Amino acid sequence: MNIKTLCIIALTSVSATAFAADKPEFNLVDLNADGFVSQEEAQNIVGLTDVFEAADINKDGQLDEAEYAEAAIS
Ligand SMILES: [Ca+2]
Ligand SMILES: [Ca+2]
């Protein structure tokens, strides 16, 4: 294991921990206040794009407030 690998692991664990403890409020993520988080808006949240498709229960391409609340971001 080299220094670069250690740095990546450290950064990954720090950001994951910070995010889990501080998931943004829905209305802060829904920038245009249309009641949905679009994939574009999701890009502002670390980890959200990774789980976007899984969180989009009704497959309309956006997350409503309930879907966002259930999004398993880690
Ligand atoms: Ca929106
Ligand atoms: Ca949806």
Domain ranges in the chain? 3-73
Dihedrals phi, psi of 56, to nearest 5 degrees:
-80, 80
pLDDT in tens, 7-65: 444 555 555 544 455 789 999 999 999 999 999 999 999 999 999 999 999 999 999 99
Distance of CA 14 to the CA centre of its chain: 15
Between the CA of 10 and the centroid of ligand 1 the distance, in Å, is: 32
Q: Which CATH code fits 3-73?
A: 1.10.238.10
Between the CA of 18 and the centroid of ligand 2 the distance, in Å, is: 26
Between the CA of 49 and the centroid of ligand 1 the distance, in Å, is: 14
- Judged by its nearest atom, the ligand closest to the C-alpha of residue 26 is 1
Residue with tokens 């692991």: 9
pLDDT at 15: 52
pTM: 0.69
Helix, strand, coil abundance in the chain, percent, nearest 5 = 55, 5, 40
- Angstrom distances, CA of residue 27 to CA of 13, 17, 69: 26, 22, 11
